[in-house]
């Protein structure tokens, strides 16, 4: 017979503050019940063991200010505190901040760092910032960037900012522009790629996206920034919709895949760019324009890293 010596919490009654009105119950619990396995949180929701105002609710229930959430006793993970992250990583991310106020952080995320833990990773940008800003209890990613994509990433420190920016993202209140180095000579006349995208999860758990009429509509606007003969073109890409891997798949669909793209790229083109020192995905979120809740415009630009800059210098030569 085995015994589980993990510590157990007692019954908890959590009152919903006005800041959390409109948040789904599952997200509310995931943020509050640190050290409780995610699978357990979803299980108690499915089984109806979480009560709101003494009544049963569904996992998609949206909270209202003043709601009283009753959480049953739970088994906690062995280690309630996340393992401290390497000081060098924390310092690198702190140095990457390009804007911060009391409700928002924007950083120039380096290529190769995931935005959150999972898929075999214990940590990502958001876990790092929870350690860097322990007083910001509601810190959350506003949106995502692929692990190998660099550039401007928004992190909300307050629920009100998260709500404001999610609303802006759903409309056209956020202008995000990327730079990409693509194969071949991109025609100046090709200003848009409109192609529906469908997500597939492979058996390995990897996500692949393809152009498919059954997918969700997707639109990316492109503009030529600089040409490197017939070999490559530096383009600006503005995703009008926000689908997974959208720019990468649309570039491939247009016949001009992005350098360093192991998933959707052209191996020969990537190898030739690597030989110039470009050992990364050449996709960078370089410009961001938003309106802050007080109506003030915020416009930011993020520099490319040395590897990117040197590769383009060698290409130009």
Active site residue 146: yes
Query: Three-class SS of residue 128?
Result: helix
Tokens encoding 115: 């935005």
Q: Are the CB atoms for 103 and 158 separated by under 8 Å?
A: yes
**How far is the C-alpha of 199 from the C-alpha of 216, rounded, in Å?**
9
CA angle 149, 263, 208 (to 5 degrees): 100
CA angle 118, 140, 61 (to 5 degrees): 90
Most distant pair of Cα atoms in the chain: their distance: 71
Question: How many Cα atoms occupy the beta-carbon half-sphere of 5 within 13 Å?
Answer: 1
Close Cβ partners of 11 (under 8 Å, ≥ 6 residues apart): 70, 71, 72, 73
- Beta bridge partner(s), residue 13: 70
In 3D, which of 265, 143, 241 has the Cα closest to residue 192?
241
Catalytic residue among 19, 26, 146, 305: 146
Q: Angle at which helices 125-132 and 87-95 pack, to 10 degrees?
A: 90
Active site residues: 146
């Amino acid at each position: 017979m085995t015994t589980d010596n993990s510590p157990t919490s007692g019954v908890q009654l959590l009152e919903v503050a006005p800041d959390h009105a409109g948040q789904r119950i599952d997200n509310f619990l995931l943020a509050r019940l640190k050290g409780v396995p995610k699978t357990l949180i979803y299980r108690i929701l499915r089984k109806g063991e979480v009560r709101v105002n003494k009544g049963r609710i569904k996992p998609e229930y949206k909270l209202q200010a003043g709601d009283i959430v009753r959480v049953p006793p739970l088994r906690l993970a062995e280690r309630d505190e996340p393992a401290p992250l390497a000081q060098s990583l924390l310092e690198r991310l702190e140095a990457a901040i390009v804007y911060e106020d009391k409700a928002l952080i924007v950083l120039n995320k380096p290529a190769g760092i995931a935005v959150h833990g999972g898929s075999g990773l214990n940590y990502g940008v958001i876990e790092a910032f929870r350690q860097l800003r322990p007083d910001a209890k509601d810190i959350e990613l506003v949106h995502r960037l692929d692990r190998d994509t660099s550039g401007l990433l928004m992190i909300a420190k307050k629920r009100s900012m998260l709500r404001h920016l999610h609303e802006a993202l759903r409309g056209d209140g956020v202008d995000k522009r990327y730079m990409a180095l693509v194969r071949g000579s991109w025609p100046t006349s090709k200003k848009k790629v409109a192609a529906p995208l469908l997500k597939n999860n492979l058996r390995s758990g990897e996500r692949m996206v393809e152009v498919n009429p059954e997918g969700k509509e997707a639109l990316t606007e492109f503009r030529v920034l600089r040409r490197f003969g017939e070999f490559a073109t530096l383009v600006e890409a503005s995703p009008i919709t926000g689908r997974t891997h959208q720019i990468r798949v649309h570039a491939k669909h247009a016949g001009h895949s992005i350098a360093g793209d192991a998933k959707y790229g052209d191996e020969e083109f990537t190898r030739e760019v690597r030989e110039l020192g470009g050992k990364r995905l050449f996709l960078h979120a370089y410009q961001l324009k938003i309106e802050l809740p007080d109506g003030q415009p915020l416009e930011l630009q993020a520099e490319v890293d040395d590897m990117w800059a040197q590769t383009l210098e060698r290409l130009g030569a």
